[in-house]
Structure 1
């Protein structure tokens, strides 16, 4: 199978949208990602998958910490900004939890210390030990078949 067939098939899995954040010195970096999942309740662990060519890879390796921000349906513009899908410069006003940058008004912000990492194919999986969470009510931003906000009909 070719890469496009694989990518199209994986796009049939509806996901939420997150922005991964990290800070090294005064430099805050963020990237949009949907490769995120809960791993363990005890201890509390999550994982994110980062392309080995992404700038975020070095940020997380240097800081040994990261945040996962689950976006609300009103934050598509933020997702597009961190995915490099907009041309305009935008100032992001970050919040902080345990000194880790987070996206304000996200449905959930989870901050982690890196527990371990694994290079798998062309990505690195970072397992994060959750150190704190902030959560609010609202509807999630979704992604399906390459489009935002498309919720599959369940019959």
Structure 2
């Protein structure tokens, strides 16, 4: 049991055991493209089709998300770990798009990964600040799905693939 003053530290450690799909969030502003690796992504509802992504307000990507009208969530395939590493801080600016196969969405100009498990083009509807982060809520305007293998998962500071368990009835 954690003392109240130790709860943030205990929570940070415990959350490392929360297996999460890895996504790349992209957006653009003034002709510049931006990307960031993210695991704080979740669907909110299907009616209307809505997705939320949480971004630390200290992250450079936050400013773009705050200004932009559209963003894209790319759910990575297990073979796209290099894209996550590049967009997770290894590379900066336009260099992030030198890793992986990127395309440009015709209507929004957003970069997306056609080889990702799925990509969601979202129109930003709301931004809500909570503590150190902002929750960006977007209505899904278009979905791309790719027949591929398994998702890239982040758990306890490492990447994993996710395979189905053989459960016998």
Taking structure 1 as the reference length, the TM-score comes to 0.89
Aligned to 1:147: 158
Q: What SS does the aligned partner of 1:83 have?
A: helix
* Correspondence 1:1-155 to 2 at 5 A: 1=6, 3-85=8-90, 91-92=98-99, 94-97=102-105, 98-99=107-108, 100-138=110-148, 139-149=150-160
Q: What SS does the aligned partner of 2:42 have?
A: strand
Contact 2:78/2:161 (<8 A) preserved: no
CA offsets, 1:29-71, max 9 Å, x none? 0000000000011001010000001121111122221100000
Cα distance, 1:86 vs. partner?
6.0
Identify, as 1 or 2, the structure richer in helix.
2
Larger deviation, residues 4-13 vs 25-34:
4-13
Query: Are the structure 2 counterparts of residues 151 and 134 from structure 1 closer, same or farther at C-alpha, using a change threshold of 3 Å?
Result: closer
**Count of equivalent residues:** 154
Taking structure 2 as the reference length, the TM-score comes to 0.82
Query: Are the structure 2 counterparts of residues 101 and 112 from structure 1 closer, same or farther at C-alpha, using a change threshold of 3 Å?
Result: same
